[in-house]
Amino acid sequence: MKYLSEWDQWKRYSSKSWKRFLEKAREMTTHLELWREDIRSIEGKFGTGIQSYFSFLRFLVLLNLVIFLIIFMLVLLPILLTKYKITNSSFVLIPFKDTDIQCTVYPVSSSGLIYFYSYIIDLLSGTGFLEETSLFYGHYTIDGVKFQNFTYDLPLAYLISTIAYLALSLLWIVKRSVEGFKINLIRSEEHFQSYCNKIFAGWDFCITNRSMADLKHSSLRYELRADLEEERIRQKIAERTSEETIRIYSLRLFLNCIVLAVLGACFYAIYVATVFSQEHMKKEIDKMVFGENLLILYLPSIVITLANFITPMIFAKIIRYEDYSPGFEIRLTILRCVFMRLATICVLVFTLGSKITSCDDDTCDLCGYNQKLYPCWETQVGQEMYKLMIFDFIIVLAVTLFVDFPRKLLVTYCSSWKLIQCWGQQEFAIPDNVLGIVYGQTICWIGAFFSPLLPAIATLKFIIIFYVKEWSLLYTCRPSPRPFRASNSNFFFLLVLLIGLCLAIIPLTISISRIPSSKACGPFTNFNTTWEVIPKTVSTFPSSLQSFIHGVTSEAFAVPFFMIICLIMFYFIALAGAHKRVVIQLREQLSLESRDKRYLIQKLTEAQRDTRN
């Protein structure tokens, strides 16, 4: 018998102690999880499908909070420390070099007699007193902050904060997507195995509370209902005749043409509304009444919101005639709606971009952009994103309070009316709700560069939406009568969010690298484009480090690196295919072994019976 030395015993004891500590820490963090009890209660009462929506909303709250902390630490904190004399530091103002005086003109709103409703307009549209605060890009017209031992480069920090929050969002979403993809892959391999796992291994024996046990019962029941509904649809598809298949595919082709026509009409309406709003928004407030001014400012947001409100209802009606499974219905509806919602933001941003870079006089040649209409175009783009965020939040609250709640009262107390019976109780539509928060998150990603405090507003917005939607689900809505599996939904929600992130990166990249930065405001007034701060910073590095960076970013390095990445990717794809084939072979062997055992038991039973006889 081999005895361990004191050193080996200490290592083994330390390893076990460390593992126990990590397990206890994980248990503690689960109890500190945001909205843990609320989400578990929703899962038990309404199933894992609706629970996945609230978990997704919690993830976006945490993501926006982290994004705000990144921007706060890199951009806002040095300015606040200097502004309020917390540290011995001073601002380094931007010297205007080789810039025409006409390009540096930035008219400030008048400080004379202001009507009360002007403050409401400013609060809703981001103009007036809000335009000069740290909410928008134009407030950061500073070249740096000079501390005792160094000078903090604010333009570089501003750009790095944008790159950092985009990279963090990408990595976090991809990480969660990979985890969801693994679960989705395991559960989609064999449907019979899914039934067995839920029936024989789905119970959590650590549950001791009666209410928690009831919630777990309800959750398993919803999952089994979703599996059985999916199986029923698969059998229906398998039993289709050739004529039925041709008919359903022809109908789907016709309905998709209708969907494209609806999308085209919405995009054109948004383009016209944006052009009209930009051409008329420069009128003086006193020349128009309160409602007219607010309508002009919010016209693109109103048109986008109407399009986002009407098209999901049209798509929901169309999808019923296409005869898909419940899970695929939700995914296809989300894809159509996400293309609609995110494309509307892109249409708005690119329409603004075309107006910024085009003008009738010589200011475009002089300043590089339409300085007369957009003296600080970054702030004005930030105001458009701010208006979209605020208006979307107002619509969510208004629909819940003034549509869903009265509808619930009518269904409860006037159920004998035939019109109310046809209208019915509001259904908690998961695609519409998911698209709403993805739409808001995409606005936040685009607008955070032009409005650094927008992630903080998005965090508060999503927190309020969580409680509003929970209240609406419990008291005014009913769950969908067609259940679906949540494992697919969690992965698909993140995939839709990833599409939103990619669409947000495109206009940001064009704004940073192609459109000339404003010469009248912001930290990049001495740069032709925002990206020029990176080459300027690299030029201050030692020559050897500069050569290394230029080599890494050159085409001679990028092309071989891309080829190597592709080879590694193809290798892992082939390896995954080989592993999948091995798994299939092992399953076949297990099936054969079970048949052999059944055969042997049958023969043994027959032999025992013959022996008794």
Could you tell me if 576 and 486 lie in one domain?
no
By C-alpha distance, which of 50, 473, 55, 46 is closest to 218? 46
Q: pLDDT under 50 in the chain at which residues?
A: 1, 110-113, 284-286
Q: Phi/psi of residue 145, each to 5°? A: -125, 120
Tell me if 61 is assigned to some domain: yes
Could you tell me if 577 and 535 lie in one domain?
no
Angstrom distance (rounded) from CA 71 to CA 158: 8
Could you tell me if 470 and 585 lie in one domain?
no
Residue 396 contacts residue 463 (beta carbons within 8 Å)? no
Could you tell me if 507 and 423 lie in one domain?
yes
Tell me if 151 is assigned to some domain: yes
Structure tokens at 90: 């001073």
Tell me if 537 is assigned to some domain: yes
Q: Is 529 left (phi over 0), alpha (psi -120 to 50) or beta?
A: beta
Angstrom distance (rounded) from CA 442 to CA 457: 13
Could you tell me if 487 and 569 lie in one domain?
no
Could you tell me if 597 and 513 lie in one domain?
no
Tens digits of residue pLDDT in 48-77: 677 788 888 999 999 999 999 999 999 898
pTM: 0.78
Could you tell me if 308 and 445 lie in one domain?
yes
List the domain range (segments joined by +) for residue 34: 16-46
Tell me if 122 is assigned to some domain: yes
Longest dimension (CA), the chain: 114
Tens digits of residue pLDDT in 384-433: 889 888 888 888 888 888 877 777 777 777 766 666 666 666 677 777 78
Give the Cβ contact number of residue 479 at 10 Å.
17
User: Edge-to-edge strands of the sheet including 144-146?
Assistant: 90-92, 144-146, 151-153
Structure tokens at 316: 């929901």
Could you tell me if 433 and 578 lie in one domain?
no
Could you tell me if 24 and 42 lie in one domain?
yes
Tell me if 113 is assigned to some domain: no
pLDDT at position 445, please?
A: 92
Tell me if 58 is assigned to some domain: yes
Residue 319 contacts residue 333 (beta carbons within 8 Å)? yes
pLDDT at position 578, please?
A: 85
Could you tell me if 529 and 602 lie in one domain?
no
Tell me if 335 is assigned to some domain: yes
pLDDT at position 285, please?
A: 46
- Indicate the residue type of 239: E
pLDDT at position 167, please?
A: 92
Angstrom distance (rounded) from CA 482 to CA 329: 10
Could you tell me if 399 and 307 lie in one domain?
yes
pLDDT at position 460, please?
A: 93
Give the β-pairing of 477-478 and 90-92.
Answer: unpaired
Tell me if 99 is assigned to some domain: no
By C-alpha distance, which of 391, 394, 464, 382 is closest to 71? 382
pLDDT at position 286, please?
A: 46
Q: Give the CA dihedral 511, 517, 520, 526, nearest 10 degrees.
A: 150
pLDDT at position 202, please?
A: 67
Domain boundary among 525, 553, 581: 553
Could you tell me if 295 and 320 lie in one domain?
yes
Residue 493 contacts residue 54 (beta carbons within 8 Å)? no
Angstrom distance (rounded) from CA 102 to CA 481: 63
Angstrom distance (rounded) from CA 353 to CA 377: 9
Q: Phi/psi of residue 375, each to 5°? A: -65, -35
Report which secondary-structure segment, H or E, holds 396.
helix 377-399
Residue 424 contacts residue 480 (beta carbons within 8 Å)? no
Angstrom distance (rounded) from CA 91 to CA 139: 13
Q: How far is CA 550 from CA 533, 546, 558, 559, in A?
A: 15, 6, 11, 14
Q: State how many domains the chain has.
A: 3
